[in-house]
Amino acid sequence: MPLFILRRGLQALNVLFVMSLLVFAGVYAIGNPLDLLVDPNATQEDMARAAASLGLDQPLWVQYGRFLARALQGDLGDSFLHGAPALGLIVERLPATLELAVVAMLVAVLLGIPLGLWAGLRPDSLPGKTIMAGSILGFSLPTFWVGLMLIMVFAVQLGWLPAGGRGPTTDVLGVSTSLLTMEGWRHLLLPAANLALFKLSLIIRLTRSGTREALLQDYVKFARAKGLSNVRVVGVHVLKNILIPIVTVVGLEFGSLIAFSVVTESIFAWPGMGKLLLDSITQLDRPVVVAYLLLVVTLYVVINLTVDLLYAALDPRVRLAGARQ
Amino acid sequence: MSEATTLPAASPAEAEVERPLRRLVRAYAESRVALFGLALLLVIVLASLLAPWLAPQNPYDLMQLDVLDGRLPPGSASGDGRQTYLLGTDEQGRDMLSAILYGLRISVGVGVVATLLALAIGMALGLAAGYFGGRFDAILMRIADIQLSFPSILVAMILLALFGQGIDKIVIALVAAQWAYYARTTRGAALVERRKEYIEAARLLGLSTLRILFRHLLPNCLPPLIVVAALQVAAAIALEATLSFLGLGLPVTEPSLGLLIANGFQYLYSGRYWISVFPGVALLLTILAINLVADQLRDVLNPRLHGQ
């Protein structure tokens, strides 16, 4: 096990290193940042001085080394627009995005597993078929389009819920959250439903196929032969066995929820880091873009690593396969 | 129906006489939903190919637009009474039906071109990796694994953030986000196929490697690739629409469906739903039709279901 952790850890570091190279190459080598930073009417000497003060006159690998050294200390440069450290700007908005992603994932799991069980236990019934048809739709519909429809129906036509914004937030231990007020929940509901839809469809499908497979297994037949009640067979024996793949997917998909929150945040004007990214891209605020990308990729790598390790801890076959390679 | 139920019981000799293509067509036609999807897809492809001739007006010829006709609800007549705006107009008095037909052309075009490019690149890399194996295979699959662990929207956003907007850039981003699916699928099929006797026979005949790869190995790897490609066209169209909606994809001079939806977004709040809803419905039907066809293709082309 320690060897496995070490190897996966090294792989994760490798990915981060490659990403930092790519992002550096893309942002600092393509196009000249001086054009953005220095007055276009500046003289040749002014340009040279600016380049020297920013370290842009050095060879690329020296620049990359400096970039890396600063990045490791958490300094990813200052935002051109806000004048504040880019990383700080993003971290400031991290709670809003995490809150949205966590609630969306909870919605997906808490609705998806029961619906998937239902569809798996009665695949030919009308509700079972309706659930599956719904999950196919959930896969086909683009997230942004569903968001628009939610706004149109629930905010504009019915007027039940606000169309955007985060509403009032309360500070808990320095982290702002909208989960403590009714108004906050009202603001959260539509964006969370929007973000949850795709994962909900995924979990329904996973649970359904897992249930159908599990029902054919000997241990289920044996449990039934023992005379256990239906509730106990499904609730304990079936559910336990389909939970492992679901836990894995939930873990892995959490990262993609954060990536997809860019779409939802922009539609519902949710003040998270996805919206910041979009604003920064359109306003050419490169340091913020770089900081966002590196942060999200790091988050991703950490999530993947955690899921891999958890999986190895839960399922010894994974470890053995890894050791044999 | 009775014919369909007796067919599987037909003698093996009879089944062999039937040509593969006819068998595929018959198997495909067994699902009515899939036939509906195919019909819908044909209509959409025709509509996007023939957009300039089908559309009541050229939505980007400013001479044909009348600002006084702006934001009319569906079914209203134009100010000069010469035409009816079946799906309403946008703020510049542009006929939404025409705008949707032109937008569909761009959306479908970008999706298809990006898919074909990604297919060609991924297929060639996957074939080589599966056939030769070794270090090339290991490195390529490592890269594909890493890339597939990130959602394609993130990959595409990174590239667009670096390179900026444009039709060529979005195609590059879509290709970069999707090549790995084809490389993986092709490699998987190639690994199975290359151990079979016909490949050995071809090698013993002294055929060139390129010939073996593309004339012998590739045709036998095609069925799973076709299914993946069909599903990925839908994914590419949806991804392009999302990116364009966010303002990262196509420039305003190439108004795809995503951009049309984004333009109508602000009018949604005032109840002028048609500017954004109808392009969305067009996008939805496109994605749905492709998915229906791809789902049935998957069943039809799956060799595991053939023997039954």
**Which residues of A are less than 8 Å from B285 in CB distance?**
none
Highest-pLDDT range among A126-140, A217-231, B13-27, B180-194: B180-194
Across the range B215-233, mean pLDDT stands at 85
pLDDT band at A54 (very low <50, low <70, confident <90, very high): low
CB contact under 8 A, B276 and A148: yes
Average pLDDT, chain B: 80
Nearest to B154 among A152, A163, A259 (CB): A259
Residue of chain B whose Cα is closest to the Cα of A26: B162
Nearest to A152 among B246, B258, B268 (CB): B268
B91 SS3 class: coil
- pLDDT score at A281: 79
**Which residues of B are less than 8 Å from A161 in CB distance?**
none
Residue type, B262: A
Sequence-separated (6 or more) residues with CB below 8 Å from residue B142: none
- Residue A127 CB-density burial (10 A; 0-12 exposed, 13-18 middle, 19+ buried): exposed
Across the range A31-39, mean pLDDT stands at 60
CB contact under 8 A, B247 and A145: no
Average pLDDT, chain A: 78
For tokens 């306003």, name the residue: A283
The yes-or-no verdict on residue B7 having pLDDT over 50 is no
pLDDT band at B307 (very low <50, low <70, confident <90, very high): very low
Give the DSSP H or E segment for B77. Answer: strand B76-77
- The residue with greater pLDDT, A87 or B162, is A87
Residue of chain B whose Cα is closest to the Cα of A260: B153
The yes-or-no verdict on residue A174 having pLDDT over 90 is no
Angle at A249 between CA A244 and CA A252, to 5 degrees: 130
For residue B104, give the nearest of B306, B282, B274 by alpha carbon.
B282
The yes-or-no verdict on residue A153 having pLDDT over 70 is yes
Angle at B253 between CA A163 and CA A81, to 5 degrees: 60
- The proportion of chain A whose per-residue pLDDT surpasses 70, expressed as a percent, equals 84
State how far residue A145 is from chain B, nearest Cα, in angstroms: 7
Contact yes or no for A104/A259 (Cβ under 8 A): no
The yes-or-no verdict on residue A27 having pLDDT over 50 is yes
pLDDT band at A237 (very low <50, low <70, confident <90, very high): confident
The yes-or-no verdict on residue B122 having pLDDT over 80 is yes
- pLDDT score at A93: 84
Residue of chain A whose Cα is closest to the Cα of B159: A26
- Separation of alpha carbons B165 and B110, rounded Å: 14
- Separation of alpha carbons A63 and A59, rounded Å: 6
pLDDT band at A175 (very low <50, low <70, confident <90, very high): low
Instruction: Return the DSSP state at A32.
Output: -
**Which residues of A are less than 8 Å from B163 in CB distance?**
26, 30
pLDDT band at B260 (very low <50, low <70, confident <90, very high): confident
Nearest to B291 among A23, A140, A266 (CB): A140
CB contact under 8 A, A145 and B261: yes
For residue A94, give the nearest of A292, A231, A252 by alpha carbon.
A292
Least confident stretch, A107-116, A173-182, A268-277: A173-182
Residue A221 CA: distances (Å) to CA of A78, A227, A234, B128: 63, 10, 11, 47
Top residue of A17, A145, A284 to mutate, by most chain B CBs within 10 Å, is: A145
For the record, the structure tokens of B106 come out as: 């761009």
- Separation of alpha carbons B306 and A307, rounded Å: 37
For tokens 């195609």, name the residue: B171
Contact yes or no for B261/B241 (Cβ under 8 A): yes
- pLDDT score at B3: 43
Nearest to A156 among B149, B234, B271 (CB): B271
Top residue of A194, A261, A263, A281 to mutate, by most chain B CBs within 10 Å, is: A281
CB contact under 8 A, A259 and B150: yes
The yes-or-no verdict on residue A12 having pLDDT over 70 is yes
- pLDDT score at A34: 61
State how far residue B154 is from chain A, nearest Cα, in angstroms: 6
Residue of chain B whose Cα is closest to the Cα of A284: B161
Residue of chain B whose Cα is closest to the Cα of A16: B146
- pLDDT score at A208: 86
> Count of A–B CB contacts within 8 Å?
94
Q: Count Cβ atoms below 10 Å from residue A104 Cβ, excluding itself.
A: 26
Q: By the CB < 8 Å criterion, does B276 face chain A?
A: yes
- pLDDT score at B118: 93
pLDDT band at A321 (very low <50, low <70, confident <90, very high): low
For tokens 């619906």, name the residue: A115
The yes-or-no verdict on residue B308 having pLDDT over 50 is no
- Residue A91 CB-density burial (10 A; 0-12 exposed, 13-18 middle, 19+ buried): middle
Top residue of A140, A153, A284 to mutate, by most chain B CBs within 10 Å, is: A140
State how far residue B142 is from chain A, nearest Cα, in angstroms: 10
Record: fold of A88-324: MetI-like fold (1.10.3720)
Sequence-separated (6 or more) residues with CB below 8 Å from residue B234: A140, B111, B286, B287, B290, B291, B294
CB contact under 8 A, B268 and A15: no
Residue type, A222: F
**Which residues of A are less than 8 Å from B150 in CB distance?**
255, 259, 297, 300
**Which residues of B are less than 8 Å from A262 in CB distance?**
153, 157, 246
Across the range A301-311, mean pLDDT stands at 78
Nearest to B245 among A22, A23, A144 (CB): A144
pLDDT band at A13 (very low <50, low <70, confident <90, very high): confident
The yes-or-no verdict on residue A63 having pLDDT over 80 is no
HEC string for B223-284: HHHHHHHHHHHHHHHHHHHHHHHCCCCCCCCCCCHHHHHHHHHHHHCCCCCHHHHHHHHHHH
For tokens 């030769």, name the residue: B132
The yes-or-no verdict on residue B306 having pLDDT over 60 is no
Answer positive or negative: Cα dihedral of B213, B219, B221, B225.
positive
pLDDT band at A274 (very low <50, low <70, confident <90, very high): confident
pLDDT tens for B229-247 read: 888 898 899 888 888 888 8
pTM of the model: 0.80
Give the DSSP H or E segment for A175. Answer: strand A175-177
Q: Count Cβ atoms below 10 Å from residue B74 Cβ, excluding itself.
A: 16
State how far residue B198 is from chain A, nearest Cα, in angstroms: 30
- pLDDT score at B117: 94
**Which residues of A are less than 8 Å from B154 in CB distance?**
256, 259, 296
State how far residue B288 is from chain A, nearest Cα, in angstroms: 6
Q: By the CB < 8 Å criterion, does B31 face chain A?
A: no
Nearest to A281 among B234, B248, B277 (CB): B248
**CATH 1.10.3720.10 domain range(s) in chain A:** 88-324
- pLDDT score at A316: 64
pLDDT tens for B169-201 read: 889 889 988 899 899 888 888 888 888 888 888
- pLDDT score at B115: 92
CB contact under 8 A, B246 and A260: no
- The residue with greater pLDDT, A21 or B13, is A21
Q: By the CB < 8 Å criterion, does B75 face chain A?
A: no
Instruction: Return the DSSP state at A155.
Output: I
Across the range B28-49, mean pLDDT stands at 85
**Residue A275, CB-side half-sphere exposure with 13 Å CA sphere:** 18
The yes-or-no verdict on residue A122 having pLDDT over 90 is no
**Which residues of B are less than 8 Å from A259 in CB distance?**
150-151, 153-154, 157
For residue B231, give the nearest of B119, B124, B147 by alpha carbon.
B119
**Which residues of B are less than 8 Å from A151 in CB distance?**
268-269
Nearest to B280 among A136, A148, A157 (CB): A148
pLDDT band at B6 (very low <50, low <70, confident <90, very high): very low
pLDDT band at A44 (very low <50, low <70, confident <90, very high): confident
Q: By the CB < 8 Å criterion, does B251 face chain A?
A: no
The yes-or-no verdict on residue A87 having pLDDT over 70 is yes
Nearest to A142 among B154, B238, B269 (CB): B238
For the record, the structure tokens of A84 come out as: 């504040």
Q: By the CB < 8 Å criterion, does B111 face chain A?
A: no
- The residue with greater pLDDT, B93 or A148, is A148
Nearest to B242 among A142, A157, A296 (CB): A142
Least confident stretch, A265-279, B150-164, B210-224: B150-164
